[in-house]
Structure 1
């Protein structure tokens, strides 16, 4: 089962502070979405509303056509895993798994057992005694094994070391292919996990500034490589995000969709055109005054 998400004019206030400003977007079921934003951009606030942890101040949210807040039928179809605060630290790992099995009707105990062995998680230990990496591994195990139609990871894998994180990305993709559902990942590790995203949403200061297919977003930029003088002349008038030099060769990352005419000129001048990283585009789109170049 896949569930769609529809958000209209969503607003969230904490007292006099507005954390989310009139967000509107639609997410089809059965895709992997990336939610990006700088610290304090409102990512966790948005995700907590989608997971029924809190109610919005204004606007509407519909999951599968129904409002999620205090809706038990929808809440059990959504799994929200955060880096911290998603389980009782005094519980043993085996008790956390029992609780998870009672929360999500699609819980896959065999899958959970396989993940526990993979991450070498001790069933009898209390969560409080686990290392940060093991707590993260437990969190991603709960999220994946929940098999919830909407599974949300809010930086839940930050505590894992690099090999474990990459193992998680591979596991998520394999599970997504075998049992399609909606994954929504909030992350700062854009370079690592960005290849998973089918669509990207970017929040900036509580506002949705972009929601696009990942490949469409990548097409907004290009890396231009060639002799220094040729590259410098070619990028005149283009928005430059960054540059690198190696001997007499230079590579410049530019923002802005290149027309067929510009691409032909680049090839005619012997310049190479390559893709731009999602992280470079994100940094450019969320850059504030006073940020370093």
Structure 2
């Protein structure tokens, strides 16, 4: 990836210093990514031993980022860990927040961040489900609060969903979109606030039927994973459902595909399950996944996933027509 000038609101300096608030799995991944794009990062997290865990995570992610290509000036040494939130925020041009998914905690956290920073600095949350309209209520400058929701792991997956709350300004939303694009992400603008945003809603729809098929004894967890990983998942890694639908229609494109497949698709929709995540279903899924993981460790599986993701991203970067 090539380093680009990071976007900034009109009249504000270029974005060079990032404050990452919360350094768990998502926050640590963001830290590694921002460092790899040649930015300065100040990070903070109140959990015990947070700095050691963060630096270990960054070191673990760094080889994958090196394989993708570091920006000029990228260095792990540009990370500064701060015990106090206010110290991490000092001098920040952009904030990426990754705290717990609790509305009360986020409201208080954004109130504190808002009070500590100039009005032009965007406060972006990685929240996977909370609505910014509620989070921004306690801020003096709610217009600069947006959602910048990544997809795990953020240091490799390019998607970022950008959403404004009711009080967010269009300038802040557009500036966030520009910043993420400038550092190599693939941001999309979610036009309306909905639970789970876009990607998680699509994922939840697939999970619902995957859980239903296991619950009904149609398939094992391994069958489901194989069906996706060696079937439509391969196509989805290259292009989304609409372009795949277009190709399925041949010369007639998406309209031809819908004319012929529309009735069967509607019949499948009518037959989809509505499972409840009962204790019995949880146990069935646990047992199935443990059987799949026999002889493997989660760390090894994640490392293999990251290695293949790097290769896939490199291949997609060379594609001329695949978006």
Q: TM-score, normalised by structure 2?
A: 0.30
Higher strand share: 1
Structure number with the higher helix fraction is 2
**Higher relative contact order (Cα pairs below 8 Å, separated by 6+ residues):** 1
TM-score (norm 1): 0.32
